[in-house]
Amino acid sequence: MTSEQMMKVAAESSPWSSLQRVVMGTARLRGQKVSTLRSRSQEAVNELMQSIIEREGGNEAFYVLDLGVVVDLWQKWQEALPGVRPFYAVKCNPEPVLLSSLATLGAGFDCASRAEIEAVLSLGVAPDRIVYANPCKAETQLKYAAKVGVNLTTFDSKEEVEKIRSSHPSCEVLLRVKAQEDGGARCPLGAKYGALADEVGPLLQAAQRAGLIVAGVSFHVGSGAEHARAYTGAISTVKNVFETASSLGLPRLRIVNIGGGFTAGPRFTEASAAVRGAMNAYFSGESSGISVIAEPGRYFAESAFSLATNIIGKRVRGDLREYWINDGIYGSMNCLLYDHAVITALPLACMSRRLNPSCHGLPKYRSTVFGPTCDALDTVLTDHWLPELQVGDWLVFPNMGAYTAAAGSSFNGFSTSAICTYCAVSYY
Ligand SMILES: *Cc1c(COP(=O)(O)O)cnc(C)c1O
């Protein structure tokens, strides 16, 4: 066999898909070791965590990022929403390997600040792959966007039109409209952003008078949206704006930005079906020439990260077991407050039958889990049933990728940004 043929055979017998190999290469280029997971399961993640703990010998909290999950979500997105280009919302989780993997896969990025734009540009992503999707921007940051060539942003007020006209007049704009309903979102956004129906005409005219090109319309149904019908209603609102713009004599709008709000799993199946249906219903006649983009954050980040925390303290009060761990409300678990998240923890030693078969069937105790800071608010779980654990044991939190480390602080000297992320790739 020639070496070329041998490589071909090796590639064919490799368990990795070409996308998985590309993403592994991206992570390695960033100096990351990429571990392999024997399956797409929490059990495999836990076994990796165990080996990291044995190898490193430390007891700091850490994340495992499964890039196989990201690749899989990317492929599911392409299948369910072909032609809808995702611009990953950086605020959800700006972990550099996640950003560079998404960049390699072909994503664009939703940035809301100078620092987020810098982070994305530093990956070698071209500025035309960024939407500056913050409807209210500081003037200095807008000037920075102008300097680096980020030329697409959102607005929902006349004041913003004026700022864009004076600081970045060549920037094209998307009118952010308020979605009719927030779709039962965990984090509704409509109270803060989005033009109301009677504001649409005057805002389009203000942009036109300012000489700005209105490229299209955007909305956000709210993060963690429960009801897919929210997309249907919002896309019908977008259609109305397209018609208003044309009746006011604006050049034809061409971008529909359906925002974020997606959660991976069955809800994504419903949401993507609603988007396809609404685009067909409202935009079928003019689909040529219209670009549809989206700004998913949670969808790509949430299920790709698991967090391992170390038990640093314990107290027994009657039947109650109380534990202190080295991450909490002021760190990754800020999601309990800001993202209204529901999280679960399981002891690492008990999560894999292979690691510890005797764990199963152990008696469980009503337990409280506290974070490390001296604030009583820093309580992670109450009335959680756990087997008896000791100081030095590990607790694992799955699905901790969205709105976790991104919004953590260093309150009381416990620095969220110091938490390490280890990369892995699962396949199936
Ligand atoms: C936060 C945000 C997103 C991401 O929302 P998800 O619910 O995480 O998908 C997208 N667009 C804008 C403008 C946002 O503010």
Cβ–ligand 1 contact at 387 (below 6 Å): no
Question: pLDDT tens digit string along 309-322?
Answer: 999 999 999 999 99
Is the pTM higher than 0.85? The answer reads yes
Are residues 331 and 257 part of one domain? no
Catalytic residue, from 187, 335, 350, 374: name it: 374
Last residue of a domain, one of 301, 323, 344: 301
Last residue of a domain, one of 269, 301, 333: 301
Last residue of a domain, one of 257, 274, 301: 301
Choosing from 81, 91, 155 the residue with most ligand 1 atoms within 8 A of its CB, the one to mutate for a pocket test is 91
In ligand 1, the atom with minimum distance to the C-alpha of 298 is: 8
3-state secondary structure the chain: CCHHHHHHHHHHHCCCCHHHHHHHHHHHHCCCCEEEECCCCHHHHHHHHHHHHHHHCCCCCEEEEEHHHHHHHHHHHHHHCCCEEEEEEHHHCCCHHHHHHHHHHCCEEEECCHHHHHHHHCCCCCHHHEEECCCCCCHHHHHHHHHHCCCEEEECCHHHHHHHHHHCCCCEEEEEECCCCCCCCCECCCCCCCECHHHHHHHHHHHHHCCCCEEEEECCCCECCCCCHHHHHHHHHHHHHHHHHHHCCCCCCCEEECCCCCCCCHHHHHHHHHHHHHHHHHHHHHCCCCEEEECCCHHHHHHHEEEEEEEEEEEEECCEEEEEECCCCCCHHHHHHHCCCCCCCEEHHHCCCCCCHHHCCCCEEEEEEECCCCCCCCEEEEEEEEECCCCCCEEEECCCCCCCHHHCCCHHHCCHHHCEEEEEEECC
- pLDDT value for 351: 63
Instruction: Give the CATH number for residue 330.
Output: 2.40.37.10
110 within domain boundaries:
yes
Q: Which residues of the chain have pLDDT under 50?
A: 10
Instruction: Give the CATH number for residue 111.
Output: 3.20.20.10
309 within domain boundaries:
yes
- pLDDT value for 217: 98
24 within domain boundaries:
no
Are residues 55 and 131 part of one domain? no
Are residues 373 and 253 part of one domain? no
Are residues 210 and 162 part of one domain? yes
Cβ–ligand 1 contact at 91 (below 6 Å): yes
Are residues 60 and 208 part of one domain? no
Are residues 130 and 190 part of one domain? yes
Mean pLDDT over all residues of the chain? 92
**359 assigned to active site:** no
Number of domains in the chain: 2
Are residues 133 and 198 part of one domain? yes
Give residue 314's domain range: 35-66+303-426
- pLDDT value for 9: 52
Are residues 55 and 101 part of one domain? no
- pLDDT value for 261: 96
- pLDDT value for 269: 97
Cβ–ligand 1 contact at 401 (below 6 Å): no
Question: pLDDT tens digit string along 76-97?
Answer: 999 999 999 999 999 999 999 9
